[in-house]
């Protein structure tokens, strides 16, 4: 079972210079998060921390698959994900609110938790539109039964403008 604690970086114990961390993320990672957008996945996370005096660079790279839903037919499939993100941690006497790229910690801080950062990097690696053809192993065709059902309900509502997404036109060709 995964837990938040596994993602604590006790940076005070780190010497100056580069340090490598590897995390193998599976379903239990996502179960830690309440109302997680993702429930299933296998993602390798590599984190390089470059520790300097009162400053740290954190470079994350992620690569793997997450189970997601097709926007067209709603079937679930394995989507390949890949992403990279960096954050900077500054130790300061007067910590202020993070401005996105820089996180400020007080002089007494000894550790930093990277769970939420990893979670966000995985979430933002999922594109706005995704369909069965993006399947990790090999592109799949959309669920034909669902397509039939969708095309039926479009006929019944023929007074409604058809969707303008070009993928719908492609799908129409498959059905025809």
**Contact with Zn ion (CB under 5 A) among 38, 81, 142, 150:** 142
Q: Which two tokens stand for residue 163?
A: 């969707």
The number of helix segments (H) and strand segments (E) in the chain equals 4, 7
Provide the minimum distance between the beta carbon of 163 and Zn ion in the complex, in angstroms, as a whole number.
15
Separation CA 81–CA 61 (nearest Å): 11
**Contact with Zn ion (CB under 5 A) among 70, 87, 91, 122:** 70
Q: Give the rounded distance of the alpha carbon of 157 from its chain centre.
A: 36
Binding to Zn ion (CB under 5 A): which residues in 82-121?
none
150 is a site residue for Zn ion (CB under 5 A): no
Decide: 105 and 90 in contact? Cβ < 8 Å: yes
Contact region with Zn ion (CB under 5 A), list: 2-10, 78-86, 99-107, 125-133: 125-133
Residues that bind Zn ion (CB under 5 A): 70, 72-73, 75, 132, 142
């Amino acid at each position: 079972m995964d837990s938040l604690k596994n993602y604590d970086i006790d940076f005070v114990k780190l010497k100056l210079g580069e340090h490598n961390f590897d995390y193998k993320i599976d379903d239990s990672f996502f179960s830690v998060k309440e109302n997680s957008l993702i429930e299933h996945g296998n993602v390798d996370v590599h984190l390089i921390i470059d520790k300097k005096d009162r400053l740290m660079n954190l470079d994350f790279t992620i690569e793997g698959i997450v189970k997601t839903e097709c926007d067209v037919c709603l079937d679930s499939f394995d989507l390949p994900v890949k992403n990279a993100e960096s954050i900077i941690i500054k130790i300061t006497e007067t910590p202020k609110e993070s401005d996105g790229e820089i996180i400020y910690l007080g002089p007494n801080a000894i550790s930093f938790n990277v769970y939420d950062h990893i979670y966000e990097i995985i979430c933002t690696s999922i594109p706005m539109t995704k369909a069965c053809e993006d399947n990790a192993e090999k592109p799949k065709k959309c669920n034909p039964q669902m397509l039939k059902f969708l095309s039926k309900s479009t006929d019944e509502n023929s007074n409604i403008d058809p969707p303008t997404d070009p993928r719908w036109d492609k799908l129409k060709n498959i059905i025809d």
